[in-house]
Amino acid sequence: LGIASLIAETVYLILLVALGLPIEFFPAFFTKVIPAALYAVCIAVLVFPLVTKFLRRAMKTEPNTVKRIA
């Protein structure tokens, strides 16, 4: 997730620079791209356990809603 977020933000920055916006690449990379990627990772670390707990509880109450193929 961290690498994907970093890549997506970097591609977005490159697109903005390529379109001619007056943005300097390296300052924007260190002040926008890296913090956005770190934020996404922190949110994922906090939300993922809650989502898995909720889904696990939902699977116990309604076991026939999702069937395993394996």
Q: What is the pLDDT of residues 23-57, one digit of tens each?
A: 999 999 999 999 999 999 999 999 999 988 888 87
Side chain identity at residue 63, one-letter code:
P
Whole-number Å distance between alpha carbons of 56 and 53: 5
What is the model's pLDDT at position 56? 83
**Secondary structure class of 67 (helix, strand, coil):** coil
Asked if 41 and 5 count as a contact pair (C-beta separation under 8 A), the reply is yes
**pLDDT band for position 65 (50/70/90)?**
low
pTM listed for this prediction: 0.68
Whole-number Å distance between alpha carbons of 18 and 16: 5
Asked if 6 and 37 count as a contact pair (C-beta separation under 8 A), the reply is yes
Mean pLDDT of the chain, nearest integer: 88
What is the model's pLDDT at position 55? 84
What mean pLDDT is predicted for residues 4-28? 96
